[in-house]
Every structure is written in structure tokens, then in C-alpha cells.
Structure 1
Amino acid sequence: MSQMLACLVLLLFVALLGPLPTLAQRETRHEKFHRQHVAFPKTHSELDARRYCNLMMQRRGMTTIKCKPSNTFIHGHPTEVDAICSSGGTHFSENYYDSNGFFELTACRVTGEGSGPPNCNYRGRLSNQRIRVACINGVPVHFKAHL
């Protein structure tokens, strides 16, 4: 009887909690690519490149455990960036595709000047360039280079 009561209490407890996200839920490689590289419209465009990099690298979670050495933000619409893997790009080699068009970019590189996570210091550089990305299943998953 007490075992049956324990089961009922447990069942009631689970029912009241409802669906909870599991700890195992993680972002996909494509979602991570967007979090780390796509910033459209350009957030805080009034900031100089250094301040922009310091802010965005922290906001996007790339300074939590260690300072990510470098990162490039693409200021293009997410659908235009995704299209590099299809009509908006040209196959380069293996799973790499080059964008047909130019994107506004902010390239961030850690300076190494006496600070550590989460307050990493970056220098930034603005440019308009074509880019190369790695694609899997028709979507970008890795930023390879500016061209």
C-alpha cells in the first residue's frame, strides 16, 4: 500500500511540474554559428570597434570561461548569411562555401592586456568583405575566413 501511495505522489509531482527542459538540451552547431557570428542589425553601431567587440564578445558568451582569441561578427541578415550555403554562395572545397556578395564585418581580436574572463579586452576592425563558411546540411556551422 505504501509503495502504491509513493507512486501516486510521484506521479502527481511530475504532473504538476509539467514539461521541463532537459539539461541535455544544447544549441545546434547552426545556432551556435548565429550566436557567435551573426549580428543583424548591428547592435550598438554607435560604438567604436574596440568597445563594440568588448561588449558583444561578453554578451554572446565568448568570455565566460576564457577569452576567445578572435571572432568575426557578420552584419548581414540571417537569411542572407544562411544562403551562402546555397544560392548566395559558391562552393570552394569540401564543405566550404564563399559568399557571392560582400558583408559588413567587425573582426575582434583579444589584446592580451592584463585582463581575463569575463572582462576580456579586444581590438576591433571594420570591413566590407566576402566570407568563407563551412556548411553542413545546407546551413553555415563555422566561420572560416574573410576573403
Structure 2
Amino acid sequence: MSPSGYTLCLLLLVAAVWLWLPCCEGKRFRRFLRKHQDYPKSNYGDDNNYCNNVMPLKGMRCRRRNTFIHATQQQLRFICSPEGQIQNGITTSRAIFSITTCKRKRRGWFRRQCRYKGKSKTRKIQVLCRKGRPVRFLSHL
């Protein structure tokens, strides 16, 4: 292959990576929303019923635990703005959020028999941010 052929291949590779990266960042944010956002909070009565219904709806059957944040996309993005408190790569919200934490109580013989204990709270949250968007929920304070 001639030097210009190598240059062309390298240029095409760089262009492909440049086009691919924004796509993946958007996917990570959408995945974060699918796993952790429930706004407005779905009404299933008490917190246990909430978790027993929402966990399977969000595709998280028999997962050990998950936290749902009852906030808009704009409020969640705001955490990753300069308003967030960043320490060691972890961003802590300045705002307090309404959240519901679901913990698996027991696991049935079949995966669909998992039951959850839910607990609603208002807390600051910690997330991992990429390109101004939360991509991973870490904890609540």
C-alpha cells in the first residue's frame, strides 16, 4: 500500500471513531435513564408494590438492588453541570432528590418470583458524569 493509502486508511479510521463516540455517550445516558429515572413516580401504592412492579417493567428482574430517581432529564443533567460538586471523579448533586431504593427480599424458584422491599427517601445523589451527562448511579447521601 502506498503512503497515501495508509494516510487515507488512518483518516477513515479517525473519522469512524469520531462519529461513533457521540453515539455511545448518548446510549450510556439513555441506559442510565432507563435504569434509574422514573418521573413522575409511578403510582403503585406502597414502596414494596412500587418496586415489585417497576423493577420488571424496567427490565431488571431479580436484580439485587436499584435506585430510582424521580426527576426530569433536565434536573439529572444539571448534576453534571458546573453546579455539581466533583471530587475524585465522582459528582455529588447540590440538590436533594426524591428517590426510591428497591432491594431484593427473596428469590423465588423462577426469576419472575423475586420480591422487593422498597424505601422512599429524599437525598443528594452521586453519579459518574461523561460529557455533561450522568452515565452511572453510584450512591445516595
Superposition TM-score, scaled by structure 1 size? 0.74
Indicate which of 73, 76, 91 corresponds to 1:78: 73
Query: 1:60-84 CA deviation, whole Å, 9 max, x = no partner?
Result: 0011xxx111000001111101110
Structure 2: 5+ residue stretches without partners:
1-23
Indicate which of 41, 46, 49 corresponds to 2:47: 49
The 4+ residue runs of structure 1 with deviation greater than 3 A are: none
How far apart are the structure 2 equivalents of 1:80 and 1:87? Answer: 13
Q: Residues 101 and 130 of structure 1 are in contact (CA less than 8 Å); yes or no, is this contact kept in structure 2?
A: yes
AA in 1 matched with 2:101: A
**Paired residue for 1:36?**
35
Superposition TM-score, scaled by structure 2 size? 0.77
How far apart are the structure 2 equivalents of 1:123 and 1:136? Answer: 31
Q: Following TM superposition, by how much is the alpha carbon of 1:90 offset from its aligned partner in structure 2, in angstroms?
A: 1.1
Q: Following TM superposition, by how much is the alpha carbon of 1:49 offset from its aligned partner in structure 2, in angstroms?
A: 0.3
**Paired residue for 2:15?**
none
Q: Residues 69 and 109 of structure 1 are in contact (CA less than 8 Å); yes or no, is this contact kept in structure 2?
A: yes
Matched ranges for 1:104-143 at <5 A: 104-114=98-108, 116-143=110-137
Query: 1:21-75 CA deviation, whole Å, 9 max, x = no partner?
Result: xxxxx9811111000101111111x510000001110100011xxx111000001
Which structure has the bigger radius of gyration?
A: 1
The alignment-based identity, stated in percent, is 34
Q: Following TM superposition, by how much is the alpha carbon of 1:113 offset from its aligned partner in structure 2, in angstroms?
A: 4.5
How far apart are the structure 1 equivalents of 2:103 and 2:79? Answer: 24
- Relative to its length, the structure with more helix (as a share) is 2
How many residue pairs match? The answer is: 118
How far apart are the structure 1 equivalents of 2:83 and 2:109? Answer: 40
SS of corresponding position for 2:106: coil
**Paired residue for 2:16?**
none
SS of corresponding position for 1:52: helix
Q: Residues 99 and 130 of structure 1 are in contact (CA less than 8 Å); yes or no, is this contact kept in structure 2?
A: yes
SS of corresponding position for 1:110: strand
Query: 1:4-28 CA deviation, whole Å, 9 max, x = no partner?
Result: xxxxxxxxxxxxxxxxxxxxxx981
How far apart are the structure 1 equivalents of 2:97 and 2:37? Answer: 11
**Paired residue for 2:8?**
none
